[in-house]
C-alpha cells in the first residue's frame, strides 16, 4: 500500500538497534551515497511507504504546488500594472 506524500516538519524519529557489522556496512552505504545514516534511513522509509526517496517526493510536491499556483493565476487573468503615460520622466529620466 502506497500512501500519498504530504511534507511537513521532520519531527518524528525512527530508531533501531543493529549488529556491529550491519551498522558499519549501512554507514558505508550512506557515505557512498553522499548522505549520513539518518538521511539514508529516511529515504528507505519513504521508499517503503511512498514508493520514492524523500527528496524526490519533496521535489514532486513542490512542482505540483507550482503547477496548481500557475493554473490558479491563469484563471484570475494577468497581473499587469497600468502603464504610466509619462514613462522616463517619473524618476528624472529622459
Residue at 91 is within a domain: no
On whether residue 5 sits in a domain, the answer given is no
Q: Identify the DSSP state of 19.
A: -
In-domain check, residue 8: no
Number of domains in the chain: 1
- Boundaries of domain holding 33: 20-76
Q: Is residue 85 part of a domain?
A: no
Pair 38, 31: CB distance under 8 Å: no
Q: What is the pLDDT along the chain (94 residues), one digit of tens a residue?
A: 667 888 888 999 999 999 999 999 999 999 999 999 999 999 999 999 999 999 999 999 899 889 888 888 777 666 667 676 655 555 555 5
Q: Provide the whole-model pTM.
A: 0.69
Is 70 inside any structural domain? yes
Amino acid at each position: 500500500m502506497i500512501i500519498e506524500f504530504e511534507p511537513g516538519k521532520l519531527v518524528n524519529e525512527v530508531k533501531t538497534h543493529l549488529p556491529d557489522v550491519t551498522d558499519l556496512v549501512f554507514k558505508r552505504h550512506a557515505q557512498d551515497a553522499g548522505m549520513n545514516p539518518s538521511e539514508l534511513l529516511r529515504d528507505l522509509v519513504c521508499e517503503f511507504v511512498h514508493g520514492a526517496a524523500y527528496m524526490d517526493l519533496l521535489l514532486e510536491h513542490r512542482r505540483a504546488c507550482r503547477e496548481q499556483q500557475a493554473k490558479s493565476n491563469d484563471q484570475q487573468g494577468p497581473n499587469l500594472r497600468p502603464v504610466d503615460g509619462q514613462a522616463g520622466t517619473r524618476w528624472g529620466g529622459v
